[in-house]
Amino acid sequence: MQNQRFISDNVITEVNVETISVDGIDALKVTYAYTLNYGEMKFQTDDFGPGKYLVKESNALMVTLAVIKKSVEGQLAKYFTPKKEISVNINGSADALPINKAIPYKGEFGDHIVRDCEFDGTSHEMILTISKGIINNQTLAFVRSFAVRDHLKNNIFRQKFSKLKYHHSATVSEQRGGQFRRVYIEMIVYGAFE
């Protein structure tokens, strides 16, 4: 991908696979994240730009999603089967750049979204509508996670996984910069080795 100039060599994709125990049952936990080496970049970012939330607006996220697709359909396919219970935890993050004017939400995921989202250790009901738009960084972080959910649902898992559950969380940094506008994805396959 770097050779095709799809993404800069600034991106470091991280995949961590481990076995965990959940209520005495072995599970497979796979985490996908990325970091960037900012020392080599000037006036450019592979993260989300300010106020951006669509998957295609983050080159680093697009690469991470390509890695997820390849691993779920390849090396990990024997664990990610349609009858397995799978939990997908998606954390969207935003930086401290204030939102002074609502960011337009164009209805890419429906006219309105109402979902639970964990923020600061507490579950909150997130409501996003076309008429209100994105009014704060917590909502921006949430909609970044929801964009990933939409991509996973439509491009990787599709309709064949009936026991798939999504969980959203949002993080808002106290600092500014592209490195604080990210998405982190964790998947747990319960009873993966049965």
Q: Return the H-helix or E-strand segment holding 128.
A: strand 122-129
How would DSSP label each residue in 172-193? E-SS-SGGGS-EEEEEEEETTT
Calpha distance 16→29 (Å, rounded): 8
Say how far apart CA 104 and CA 123 lie, in whole Å: 25
pLDDT value of position 38: 59
Q: What kind and span of H or E run contains 66?
A: helix 59-73
Amino acid at residue number 72: V
Q: For residue 192, give the nearest of 18, 16, 15 by alpha carbon.
A: 18
What stretches in the chain show pLDDT beneath 50?
A: 39-41
Number of H-type helices and E-type strands within the chain = 2, 7
Instruction: Using the Cα atoms of residue 54, residue 179, residue 186 and residue 72 in order, give the sign of their dihedral.
Output: positive
- CATH superfamily entry for domain 11-190: OmpA-like domain (3.30.1330.60)
pLDDT value at residue 130: 97
Model confidence pLDDT, tens digit, residues 15-69: 999 999 999 989 999 999 987 765 444 556 778 999 999 999 998 898 889 889 9
DSSP, collapsed to helix, strand or coil, labels residue 153 as: helix
Residue 95: its pLDDT value, please? 95
Alpha carbon distance 173, 59 (integer Å): 21
Would you state the pLDDT for residue 8? 59
Q: Which two tokens stand for residue 80?
A: 């990610």
Sign (positive/negative) of CA torsion 46, 50, 56, 61?
positive
